[in-house]
Amino acid sequence: MPKIALVDDDRNILTSVSLTLEAEGYQVATYTDGASGLEGLTTDKPDLAILDIKMPRMDGMELLRRLRQKSDIPVIFLTSKDEEIDELFGLKMGADDFITKPFSQRLLVERVKAILRRSAPRDGNGAASLGMETAPSKALIERGALVMDEERHTCTWKGQRVTLTVTEFLILQALALRPGVVKSRNALMDAAYDDQVYVDDRTIDSHIKRLRKKFKATDDDFEMIETLYGVGYRFKEQ
């Protein structure tokens, strides 16, 4: 049973969203501010976190920043209509999705289901998460120094682990599957998001920037993701 952490200072939202998610079969842990949320997310690791942006003691952006130092669990932000700058900043920091208040409870459930499907391990036996030895994965993508394991959701560059969010992994996977082939932003949206989720061009651009930043932190000479202005992106052929 997936566990979801919900962090929001609005107790009405905590109550209503918790009841909705529990009715769908999820376990829900609730926190009323960012500081208690960070402690809970660190000690009682959930499968997904839903964070409000505006909160006392520690806002959602700071919570995400600190969380990303320790974890790559999927994160959905709850945001107001006038927080477009915060949304773009949050994507650069590694948020997986945004939902604007006021929101439909059904929409939130569908977003949660979509992200959990994308982040679920494919091998079905849970052995990797338990630290057990497993046979080599058959879902490897190897492109020069890049190795991506779809089943274990792991990525390495020159043997060094690069921690990616679910959305970042899917975008890179779409590019790496066909080196040299240009992927439009729309094609990358289709690869990373379900049909019912709308994102704009800037969302994909923000994810690409964060991907490059993560790889450059491992290898300053990383230049494998190319931009073709007005067209899209491609993984460089070797």
CATH number at residue 161: 1.10.10.10
> 0.75 cut: is pTM over it?
no
Same domain? For 179 and 224 the reply is: yes
Same domain? For 114 and 32 the reply is: yes
Same domain? For 22 and 115 the reply is: yes
Three-state DSSP state, 3:
strand
Same domain? For 65 and 34 the reply is: yes
Using 50, 70 and 90 to split pLDDT, how confident is the model at 115? confident
Q: Looking at 119, 148, 183, which one is the last position of a domain?
A: 119
108 or 80, higher pLDDT: 108
Same domain? For 91 and 145 the reply is: no
Alpha-carbon distance of 231 to 158, in angstroms, equals: 29
Residue 176 lies in a domain: yes
Domain containing residue 185: 140-235
Three-state DSSP state, 84:
helix
Q: Is the pLDDT of residue 137 over 80?
A: no
Q: Are strands 97-100 and 75-79 parallel, antiparallel or unpaired?
A: parallel
Calculate mean pLDDT across residues 51-73.
88
196 or 103, higher pLDDT: 103
In the DSSP assignment, the letter for residue 74 is -
Same domain? For 13 and 112 the reply is: yes
Same domain? For 85 and 191 the reply is: no
Calculate mean pLDDT across residues 136-162.
83
Same domain? For 102 and 11 the reply is: yes
Of the chain, the percentage scoring pLDDT greater than 90 comes to 42
Average pLDDT, the chain: 83
Q: Is the pLDDT of residue 219 over 90?
A: yes
Same domain? For 155 and 92 the reply is: no
Chain center to CA of 107: 18
* Least confident span in 68-72, 88-92, 117-121, 196-200: 196-200
- Residue 235, beta-bridge partner list: 225
Ranges assigned E (strand) in the chain: 3-7, 27-31, 48-52, 75-79, 97-100, 140-143, 146-149, 154-157, 160-161, 225-228, 232-235
Calculate mean pLDDT across residues 182-202.
74
87 or 223, higher pLDDT: 223
Same domain? For 66 and 115 the reply is: yes
Three-state DSSP state, 94:
coil
Same domain? For 149 and 223 the reply is: yes
Which pLDDT belongs to residue 167? 81
Using 50, 70 and 90 to split pLDDT, how confident is the model at 123? very low
Residue 200 lies in a domain: yes
Q: Is the pLDDT of residue 138 over 70?
A: no
Residue 134 lies in a domain: no
Same domain? For 90 and 150 the reply is: no
Q: How many domains does the chain have?
A: 2
Calculate mean pLDDT across residues 108-118.
84
Q: Is the pLDDT of residue 83 over 70?
A: no
